Structure 1
Amino acid sequence: MGRCNGRCTLVGFCCLQLVAALERQIFDFLGYQWAPILANFLHIMAVILGIFGTIQYRSRYLMMYAVWLVLWVGWNAFIICFYLEVGRLSQDRDFIMTFNTSLHRSWWMENGPGCLVTPVLNSRLAPEDHHVISVSGCLLDYQYIEVLSSATQIFLALFGFVYACYVSKVFLEEEDSFDFIGGFDSYGYQAPQKTSHLQLQPLYTSG
């Protein structure tokens, strides 16, 4: 049971990460944010790899999962800085999130809790096939929703990293101890020696 506690906890955190990543992927698709969509897809694949490694006792998969979590924390930290416009980062640079393919930003900009969207007709600021809108009355601005989402991802990733390192260490120790007692050690296993069989010859007696 003690060994299962760490594995079960890690699987639980991986499932939470998977649900949170799928939820974020849906809203990023609705906002046509292609850079986060790509990052979310890689994260989903890494989480599935972590679940498989935990269930199948594969320490290498857990190490790969842990390395990805470090990159994932860095990406989400960048997202937080981007929406809070830390330093020289600005939300006016659409190419960072959409690869300069659209003017869409966060889906929560127009669909946040309590937001009232009013279209601005005949605006000269709108490019071709686009329109300008005015958003007001939001209970929580979209940038803070995105920051909370990224902070949740960082929280889950940190716990996942700790448990991935712990469970991976347990797996490696078990493999070393198993080899020490001759589990898969070539020196501990001796193939049965072939015994030579003597052919029996009939005996002839003279009468």
Structure 2
Amino acid sequence: MGCCSGRCMLIFLCTLQLITALERQVFDFLGYQWLPIMINFLQIIMVILGLFGTIQYRPRYVVLYLLWTLLWVAWNVFVSCLYLDLGGLSKDSDILSLGVSPHHSWWKGNGPSCERRDLPATGWQSLENPELVTALGCWLEYQYIEVLHCIVQLLISLLGFVYACYVVSTFTEEEDSFNFIGEFHHPSKPSQLIF
């Protein structure tokens, strides 16, 4: 079973997408961000289907992966705009936690080289968590870490989209060239039927 370069590259990109989506899922679970958890779960399923379709020569699964990739790109653009406060969106809103919990990005208090300080809040006595947590002196602020996650996902997704288009066209060309009698039809040679 030979592996063409486009097919192998798509397998590599799907595997890389799977690893990065699982990493992102872990940090969204740590931050109790429920909407990204659900979207990441769908991403993991669709990437597995795309990987299966690529390995098993199933163009319908790869097309499903292609369609999902468009939605995944839109999602990552939305999350980037949210964390950068673009288009009337605010990183302080509870959109990503679905309003269920007051939690935000895990990176907000646990970023690289952040000094974490717990400050008592006098006006927050009625909430479950009576402390405000602030992160000072961060090497990179949390919103930029989240945007970097999105950029990595966008780059891998766009490359995956291009290679998936190529793989689907390759698979459909192979299906069209087979004449269902047991031989492949070559355009330069007329097929001969022997009875």
**AA in 2 matched with 1:101:** V
What is the CA–CA distance in structure 2 between the aligned matches of 1:150 and 1:122, rounded to whole Å? 33
Match of 2:148 in 1: 148
SS at match of 1:98: coil
1:112 aligns with 2:129: no
Q: Over aligned residue pairs, what C-alpha RMSD do you find?
A: 2.1
**AA in 2 matched with 1:67:** L
What is the CA–CA distance in structure 1 between the aligned matches of 2:22 and 2:175, rounded to whole Å? 34
Match of 1:51 in 2: 51
**How does 1:1-207 map onto structure 2 within 5 Å?**
4-94=4-94, 96-125=95-124, 127-130=126-129, 131-179=131-179, 182-183=181-182
**AA in 2 matched with 1:16:** L
Structure 1: give runs of 5+ residues left out of the alignment: 193-207
In structure 2, relative to structure 1, the CA distance for the partners of 1:127 and 1:138 (3 Å cut) is: farther
What is the CA–CA distance in structure 1 between the aligned matches of 2:53 and 2:64, rounded to whole Å? 10
SS at match of 2:134: strand
What is the CA–CA distance in structure 2 between the aligned matches of 1:88 and 1:127, rounded to whole Å? 30
What is the CA–CA distance in structure 2 between the aligned matches of 1:19 and 1:63, rounded to whole Å? 21
In structure 2, relative to structure 1, the CA distance for the partners of 1:126 and 1:149 (3 Å cut) is: farther
Larger Rg: 1
* Shift, 1:3, TM fit: 5.4
Q: What does the per-residue CA deviation read over 1:42-91, in whole Å, with 9 as the maximum and x for residues that have no partner?
A: 00000000110001100111000000000000000000000000021012
* Shift, 1:134, TM fit: 2.0
What is the CA–CA distance in structure 2 between the aligned matches of 1:7 and 1:174, rounded to whole Å? 13
Normalising by structure 2, report the TM-score. 0.89
What is the CA–CA distance in structure 2 between the aligned matches of 1:127 and 1:69, rounded to whole Å? 43
Q: What does the per-residue CA deviation read over 1:142-177, in whole Å, with 9 as the maximum and x for residues that have no partner?
A: 000000000000000000000001001000000010
What is the CA–CA distance in structure 1 between the aligned matches of 2:54 and 2:121, rounded to whole Å? 57
Check whether the contact 1:123–1:132 (CA below 8 A) recurs between aligned residues.
Answer: no
* Shift, 1:182, TM fit: 3.2
Check whether the contact 1:126–1:132 (CA below 8 A) recurs between aligned residues.
Answer: no
Match of 1:202 in 2: none
In structure 2, relative to structure 1, the CA distance for the partners of 1:16 and 1:145 (3 Å cut) is: same
**AA in 2 matched with 1:56:** Q
Runs of 4+ in 1 over 4 A off after TM superposition: none
Q: What does the per-residue CA deviation read over 1:15-42, in whole Å, with 9 as the maximum and x for residues that have no partner?
A: 0000000000000000000000000000
* Identity, % of aligned positions: 52
